[in-house]
Homo-oligomer: A and B are copies of this chain.
């Protein structure tokens, strides 16, 4: 089978990282076209890898070049919507890093574009669904191992964040991953969100509300309590415990050697979030390549999932300000996203 010719829009850190993995780690794909608002950056990325991809002035010319079978959108968030819509317009499968768009309306316009063509083109970069631990959780839950899920207790902890990190980013950059992966995990829909602010850590900058506790309720009545703590200092720590009618199950910690030394029995925690889901990125992109080559369309997180994430994040941000429980309303789920999707990936 021919290699999938991939065009990359945006050669920042995540774009270069995906270029590297497609070239050196994965099979079935080849980078043939690249663009970036900074053309020199695009050229540098191509040269660093020693590949023969052409440099294009912008997303539209790249998409229209005839040199690509699929597109990766790894530009900055506000640019995503336009590139994704252009790819759909051209009939090209597109992998888009989160956010799909920076507004619910933007996400909805992409959903509408797919629905108009009655075909999926888009996979959103929610890599946690490809993490081995989350997949083990889902397999156990789908298999009835804990009975019906009733509650989920989560934590998303970061050792520290940059000065530019703001209170709403705790939702839009951080919790966004839980928002996507949890609805997928239990096959349910959100109905409301409420955010509370505990005593603020002295390790958080003045402008930042940290930690936060988010309570989400689903249509099926599952209650999710999620701690977000981005200055926890001790490490990057992702916890997820699902409590069901017959038992509970917990996301495994990243494994590392147990030691005994200096009066402590322990093991090292990850400090850098980039190490946590590194394998999941590989699986995610390989899955995109394999499905596009085999079926002509991706099977991962959909544009509708991107829309869900954005609407839910908006409700959380509203609750950060109101302190109240805020409703989450998605409207009717288009037929295109029904059925098989729920159990995919």
Contacts of A221 in B (CB 8 A): 198-200
- A interface bracket (residues with beta carbon within 8 Å of B): 35 or more
Binding-face segment, A117-125, A261-269, A312-320 = A261-269
Contacts of A38 in B (CB 8 A): none
Q: Is A255 an interface residue, CB under 8 A from the partner? A: yes
Q: Is A140 an interface residue, CB under 8 A from the partner? A: yes
Q: Is A291 an interface residue, CB under 8 A from the partner? A: no
Nearest chain B CB to A167 CB, angstrom units: 16
Tell me if A196 and B223 are in contact (CB < 8 A): yes
- Chain B residue at smallest Cβ distance from A247: B261
Contacts of A34 in B (CB 8 A): none
Q: What is the bound-complex CA distance between A234 and B260, given in angstroms?
A: 6
Binding-face segment, A23-31, A174-182, A326-334 = A23-31
Contacts of A344 in B (CB 8 A): none
Known: A203-B245, A264-B264. 11 other contacts (CB 8 A): A27-B27, A148-B202, A198-B222, A200-B221, A232-B248, A233-B247, A234-B246, A235-B260, A248-B259, A255-B255, A265-B266
Nearest chain B CB to A219 CB, angstrom units: 10
Nearest chain B CB to A175 CB, angstrom units: 15
Q: What is the bound-complex CA distance between A211 and B24, given in angstroms?
A: 43
Interface centre among A146, A147, A221, A248 (most CB of B within 10 A): A248
Assuming A254-B255, A259-B145, A265-B253, is B211 touching A233 (CB within 8 A)?
no
Q: What is the bound-complex CA distance between A249 and B261, given in angstroms?
A: 9
Q: Which listed residue (B23, B245, B250) contacts A233, Cβ 8 A? A: B245
